C-alpha cells in the first residue's frame, strides 16, 4: 500500500513538472512522452528508495532521520535518471524530456512522500483532536524528555491526552512544543490545572535534582490531580519511552534527598573476595545489605537469620543475581544461641560482619523487656566475642536513633549494644563500628506499610500524636551509607548518618492519603495516642557525643563512650543472670538494670504528659474518669 502510494506521488510529480515547465499550457504537452516518462521515472526511483530501506520503517514513529533517508533515496534515484538521460543525449544527441523536469520532479516527489509520512505521523500521534474518555494531562518540563513524552501520550493507544506544558524557562512561555502550548511556570500549576481542567500531572524531568522534584511535587499537591513521574534519565535513552514506565509519586520522592555518593573503590577493597556474614538477613535492612554486598563479588555471603521463610525469600531472590565467583550460604540460627553461632564462625570464618539482627518494635519490647535484653544485648555480645575470637577484619552493627537518651526498653537495649561494640574495640584487632540512623521508609514495623494497609482498608489512618516527628531515609540509601561507613572504620566509631530534616508523622499520613488518590474526607486521620515508650521526637546524638566530619558528606562520627573490660564483663554477667532466671524476674528489675548501665535511659519522666495526651485525644467524656487517670499517672 505504501509503495503504491509512492508510485502515485512519483507519477503526479512528473505530470506537475511538465505543467510547470510548459507554464500551465497543457496543450503543448506531449502526453505520449509524459506517460513514458512517468513509467521510466517510477521504475528508476523506486529501487533508490528500496536501497535506502524506506519501506522497512514504522512511519508512525517517523523522525528527522527518516526524512533524511527519503531525501537520500530520491537523490539516488534522481542521480540514476540524470545519468541515463545524459547517456541518451551523448549517444543520440536527442533530449528525451526537458532537463528542468528532472530537477522539478525529484523535488516534488520528496515533498509528496515526506508530506505523506508527516500526515501519517500526525494521525498516529493523535493531533487530529481529542478522543473521548482521555485523561487530560499537564506535562511539567518542556524539554527533550517532555517532547518525547508528549509524542508517546498522543498515540491512539494511550489513555492520556496532553493539554499543556509547564516550564520554568521563561523563553519557552507561550511557545508550542509538539503542537502543545507552554502555558506557565511551576508557580502557575494550580491556576493552569483549573483553567485547562487537568486530570493528571506528569513530571517529565528525568535529570532534575531530587530537591527540585520535591518542590514541584509540593506545588502539585495543592491540586486534586494525580501526579506521575518518569523514573529517571535512563528511561529516555535514544528517545525510547512508553506509558508503562510512568510511576506514581511515592513518599520517597517527598524527602528531596539526592542519591548517595559512594566510593566504590574503598568498598570493593574490603568486600571483594571476602567472606561476609549478614545477621538478620531476612529483615528489611539485612536483605538490602545482602543485595548491595553481592554487587562487590564477595567470596562467600552468609545469610544468617532466625526466620526460615524470610531467609528463604532473600536467598531465592539473590540466586538470580549472584556472581559466578560468589557462594551463597543460608543459615538458620538465633544469635542468642552462642554454641550455634560459634559453629557458624568456626565453619565459615567470616572476614566482615554486618549485624542487623535486632528486636526493634518499641511497644512489644515494653511488654517483653527480657526479649530485648536477650536478643539486642546478649545476642550482640555473642557476635562481638566471636568476631574477636576468630579475628574478623570488620564488624559493623546497625543501631538506631532510639538509643539516644532512650525512653523505652528497645532504645536502652540498643544503647547497651553500642557500648558493647565500642568497648570491645579497645582491646581487639577487629575493627568494630556502629552505624546509627533513624527510621527507614518501608521497613518492617515502620509507619508507611501500616498507613498503606489502613488506606487500602478504607481508613481511618491512625497517628499517635499530631506533633510527633521522625527522621526518615530510604532503605537503599541507609544501607549504602552503612557499607560506606564500614570502609571508613578504623575501630570503635559510632557513625551517625545525615538524616536530613525531621518529618511530621501526621504530614506523612496526609501525603500518603493524597498520593493514594484520596482526600481526608474519604480516608480520615485519627489520633490514637502515644504508645508506651514513645517520645514526640528522636535524637541522633547525646549531649556528650558531639560529631566529627568524615570524608563522606552524609556520615559523621560521634564521640564514643567505653566501658572498662571488667565493667563490660560485669554488665554482661548481670544481664545474663536475668536471662537465666527470667521466670522469677519482674519487668521493673530489667528496667532498673538497664538504667544502671545506660544512665541516659529515662523510662518514667514524661509519663504524665503522655497519659494526658492520650486522654485529650481519646473520646473520654467522663470528667471523673479523667481525674482518676491523671491521679494514677501522678502517683506512678
Contact 303, 278 (CB under 8 A): yes
Closest CA to 205 of 189, 187, 193, 217: 217
What is the distance between the terminal CA atoms of the chain, rounded to a whole angstrom? 90
DSSP assignment of 45-112 equals HHHHHHHTTGGGS-GGG--HHHHHHHHHHHHHHHHHHHHHHHHHHHHH---SS-HHHHHHHHHHHHHH
Closest Cα partner for 218 from 133, 140, 105?
Answer: 140
Indicate the SS3 state at residue 424.
helix
Rounded Cα gap, residues 354 and 380, in angstroms: 11
Angle in degrees, CA 239, 245, 246, rounded to 5: 110
Cα separation of 36 and 346, whole Å? 93
Grid cell listed for 167: 516550564
DSSP H helices, 368-446, are: 369-372, 380-389, 409-424
CA 278 to CA 296: how far, in whole Å? 14
Burial 372-396 (b: 16+ CB within 10 A, else e): bbbbbbbbbbbbbbbbbebebbbbb
HEC string of 507-553 equals: HHHHHHHHHCCCCCCCCCEEECCCCCCCCCCCCCCCCCCCEEECCCC
Instruction: Say how far apart CA 506 and CA 447 lie, in whole Å.
Output: 11
DSSP state of 230: -
Q: Which residues are catalytic?
A: 402
Q: How many CB atoms lie within 10 A of CB 576?
A: 15
CA dist 588 and 570 (Å) reads 20
Q: What would the DSSP string read from start to end of 254-317?
A: HH-PPPPP--HHHHHHHHTTSEEEEETTTSHHHHHHHHHHGGG--SEEEEEES-HHHHHHHHHH
Taking a C-beta distance cutoff of 8 angstroms, is the pair 435, 392 a contact? no
C-alpha–C-alpha distance, residues 580 and 145, integer Å: 64
Q: Checking DSSP bridges between strand 200-203 and strand 226-229, what pairing results, if any?
A: parallel
Classify 185 as helix, strand or coil.
Answer: coil
Angle at 519 between CA 515 and CA 525, to 5 degrees: 95
Residues written for the chain: 636
Buried b (16+ CB within 10 A) or exposed e, 315-340: beebeeeeeeebebebbebbbbebee
Residue 113 in contact with residue 6, Cβ under 8 Å?
yes
Please state, in angstroms and rounded to a whole number, the distance separating the CA atoms of residues 445 and 364. Answer: 11
**Spatial separation of the C-alpha atoms in residues 139 and 620, rounded to whole Å:** 49
Amino acid at each position: 500500500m505504501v509503495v503504491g502510494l509512492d508510485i502515485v506521488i512519483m507519477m503526479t510529480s512528473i505530470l506537475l513538472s511538465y505543467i510547470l515547465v510548459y507554464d500551465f499550457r497543457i496543450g503543448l504537452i506531449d502526453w505520449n512522452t509524459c506517460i513514458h516518462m512517468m513509467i521510466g521515472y517510477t521504475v528508476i526511483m523506486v529501487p533508490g528508495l528500496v536501497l535506502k530501506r524506506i519501506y522497512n520503517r514504522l512511519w508512525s514513529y517517523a523522525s528527522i532521520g527518516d526524512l533524511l533517508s527519503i531525501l537520500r533515496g530520491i537523490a539516488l534515484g534522481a542521480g540514476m535518471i540524470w545519468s541515463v538521460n545524459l547517456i541518451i543525449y551523448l549517444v543520440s544527441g536527442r533530449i528525451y524530456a526537458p532537463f528542468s523536469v528532472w530537477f522539478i520532479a525529484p523535488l516534488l516527489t520528496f515533498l509528496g512522500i515526506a508530506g505523506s509520512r508527516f500526515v501519517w505521523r500526525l494521525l498516529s500521534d493523535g493531533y487530529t483532536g481529542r478522543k473521548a474518555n482521555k485523561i487530560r494531562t499537564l506535562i511539567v518540563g518542556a524539554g527533550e524528555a517532555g517532547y518525547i513524552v508528549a509524542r508517546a501520550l498522543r498515540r491512539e493507544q494511550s489513555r492520556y491526552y496532553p493539554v499543556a506544558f509547564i516550564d520554568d524557562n521563561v523563553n519557552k512561555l507561550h511557545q508550542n512544543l509538539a503542537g502543545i502550548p507552554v502555558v506557565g511556570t511551576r508557580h502557575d500549576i494550580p491556576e493552569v490545572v483549573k483553567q485547562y481542567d487537568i486530570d493528571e500531572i506528569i513530571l517529565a524531568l528525568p535529570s532534575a535534582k531530587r530537591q527540585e522534584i520535591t518542590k514541584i511535587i509540593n506545588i502539585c499537591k495543592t491540586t486534586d490531580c494525580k501526579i506521575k513521574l518518569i523514573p529517571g534519565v535512563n528511561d529516555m535513552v535514544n528517545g525510547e519511552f512508553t506509558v508503562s514506565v510512568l510511576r506514581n509519586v511515592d513518599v520517597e520522592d517527598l524527602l528531596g534527598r539526592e542519591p548517595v555518593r559512594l566510593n566504590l573503590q574503598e568498598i570493593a577493597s574490603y568486600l571483594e573476595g571476602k567472606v561476609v556474614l549478614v545477621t538478620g538477613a531476612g529483615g528489611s535492612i539485612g536483605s538490602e545489605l545482602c543485595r548491595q554486598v553481592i554487587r562487590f563479588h564477595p567470596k562467600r555471603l552468609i545469610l544468617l537469620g532466625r526466620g526460615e521463610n524470610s531467609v528463604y525469600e532473600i536467598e531465592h531472590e539473590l540466586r538470580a543475581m549472584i556472581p559466578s565467583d560468589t557462594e551463597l550460604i543460608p543459615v538458620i540460627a538465633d544469635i542468642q544461641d552462642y554454641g550455634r553461632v560459634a559453629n557458624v564462625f568456626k565453619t565459615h570464618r567470616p572476614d566482615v560482619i554486618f549485624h542487623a539482627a535486632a528486636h526493634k518494635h518499641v511497644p512489644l519490647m515494653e511488654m517483653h523487656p527480657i526479649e530485648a535484653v536477650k536478643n539486642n544485648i546478649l545476642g550482640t555480645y555473642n557476635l562481638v566475642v566471636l568476631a574477636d575470637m576468630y579475628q574478623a577484619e570488620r564488624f559493623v552493627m546497625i543501631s538506631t536513633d532510639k538509643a539516644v537518651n532512650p525512653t523505652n526498653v528497645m532504645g536502652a537495649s540498643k544503647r547497651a549494644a553500642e557500648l558493647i561494640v565500642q568497648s570491645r574495640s579497645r582491646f581487639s584487632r577487629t575493627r568494630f563500628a556502629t552505624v546509627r540512623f533513624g527510621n527507614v521508609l518501608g521497613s518492617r514495623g515502620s509507619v508507611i506499610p501500616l498507613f498503606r494497609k489502613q488506606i487500602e482498608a478504607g481508613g481511618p489512618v491512625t497517628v499517635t500524636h499530631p506533633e510527633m516527628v521522625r527522621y526518615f531515609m530510604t532503605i537503599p540509601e541507609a544501607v549504602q551509607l552503612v557499607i560506606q561507613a564500614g570502609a571508613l572504620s578504623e575501630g570503635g566509631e559510632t557513625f551517625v548518618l545525615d538524616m536530613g530534616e525531621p518529618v511530621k508523622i501526621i504530614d506523612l499520613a496526609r501525603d500518603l492519603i493524597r498520593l493514594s488518590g484520596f482526600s481526608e474526607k474519604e480516608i480520615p486521620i485519627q489520633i490514637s495516642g502515644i504508645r508506651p515508650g514513645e517520645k514526640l521526637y528522636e535524637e541522633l546524638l547525646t549531649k556528650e557525643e558531639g560529631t566529627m566530619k568524615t570524608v563522606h558528606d552524609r556520615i559523621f562520627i560521634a564521640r564514643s563512650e567505653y566501658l572498662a573490660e571488667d565493667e563490660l564483663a560485669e554488665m554482661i554477667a548481670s544481664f545474663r543472670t536475668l536471662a537465666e532466671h527470667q521466670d522469677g524476674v519482674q519487668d521493673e528489675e530489667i528496667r532498673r538494670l538497664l538504667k544502671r548501665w545506660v544512665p541516659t535511659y529515662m523510662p518514667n519522666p514524661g509519663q504524665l504528659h503522655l497519659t494526658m495526651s492520650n486522654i485529650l485525644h481519646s473520646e473520654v467524656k467522663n470528667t471523673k474518669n479523667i481525674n482518676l487517670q491523671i491521679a494514677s499517672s501522678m502517683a506512678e
